[in-house]
Amino acid sequence: MRVVSLFSGAGFLDLGFSENGYDVTWGAEIEREFARAHNYNLRLRYGHTEDKVRNVSVTEIGADEIPFENCRGIIGGPPCQDFSKGNANNPGVEGERGRLVWDFLEKVSHLRPDFFLFENVAGLYTTKTHRENALFPMLNIFSDMGQVYPWAEGLRYKTYFEVLNSLDYGIPQDRQRVFIVGFKENIVNTLRENNMPEFEWPIRLTPNAKRQFNWPEPWGFGTEVDEEEFINNLEVPYGLTVHSVIGNQEELRELPNHVYFNPYSQRFHTVAEGDTARKSFKRLHRFKYSPTVAYGNNEVHLHPTEPRRLSVREALRLQSVPDWYSFPDDMALDKMFKMISNGVPYRLANLLARQIQIVMNNYDNVIQNQQVTPQAVAVE
């Protein structure tokens, strides 16, 4: 199934689709190093000989310039800083980045894919201003906003909206994000007429994990713990702990990108393990989930047991990115961390791709069966 990607980033969302059999034929990413990292991994994983992700602006490129022939979907997540709760003065849809959500929807309007997937920060929903000025109009645009936005006239999609937390899906990170999935109305109507299921969000493996379990409290940095005994007596699923993905340092040292900024502050030795309440210099707890992987605005996340920042590979693992994914060795560390912060957790992208695939396969099967004539059946 062929799809195109807008605001492709370093490719975590796209690769979740590619690993489920989708063919991401083309992508657009304005950040040059992001596009380079994405293409680098497409070559490593799939042997692509040419760059599929173009270093172009989604705003500036025309819909007729996007190679969409035989494509069925559009996926992407516009930059989210203008909706972020961490930005006290976020301007929402009035901001330079906030307006990019309309660029995404405009491309959907012109190209009319069978389905689309849109991702953004939870602030798009949790902040009243953004909810009323951006999210709700975005959802309404697929039903009755054609006269407000001329390019949306005749746009008819059934949309599904949800705020998903990665922690609920077996990923050791508290990361809430808005997702909107849309299908053409005729696809959903066809499924309903044939008593076939519509789109369903992935089943939460550990629902409400943040509040469901008795997570350990912070303790002093350097506290000696019998880790094996502690793990055996854990009251939380081990797979939701930081230790489950970065605890084996011998293994990590054998992987690419296990690099980090050199320590420069005494705070690397004094912040308690599990003290994540501060704005920066948050030290992760071995036996708890990570706060949102977001390393911009001077936010520093510290290793639980070592006086240093997290490494690039450790951050990738907290985003559930497979170990085959890597950045070029000549790429700047700050760029690597920025890409990781902006990405969709790979495992969640993978689950969403499967759910969309179920809908499209069901629809295709219905259409195929309707096209089989009685004479053709008799011949077979």
Could you give the residue numbers annotated as active site? 80
363 Cβ contact list (under 8 Å, min separation 6)? 187, 190, 191, 196
**Coarse DSSP helix, strand, coil percentages of the chain, rounded to the nearest 5 percent:** 40, 15, 45
Q: Are strands 176-184 and 157-165 parallel, antiparallel or unpaired?
A: antiparallel
CB-CB contact of 124 with 83 (8 Å):
yes
CB-CB contact of 168 with 348 (8 Å):
no
Distance CA 345, CA 265 (A): 30
Tokens of 51: 């760059």
220 Cβ contact list (under 8 Å, min separation 6)? 272, 273
Asked whether the CA dihedral 136, 353, 367, 73 is positive or negative, the reply is positive
Q: Which of 57, 67, 73 is nearest to 17 (CA)?
A: 73
E strand or H helix at 159, and its extent? strand 157-165
154-160 contacts: CB < 8 A, separation 24 or more? 155/108, 155/109, 155/112, 156/184, 156/185, 156/186, 157/116, 157/182, 157/183, 157/184, 157/185, 158/182, 158/183, 158/184, 158/185, 158/187, 158/188, 158/198, 160/199, 160/201
Identify the three-state secondary structure at position 290: strand
Distance CA 124, CA 104 (A): 15
Radius of gyration over alpha carbons of the chain, in Å? Answer: 22
196 Cβ contact list (under 8 Å, min separation 6)? 190, 362, 363, 366
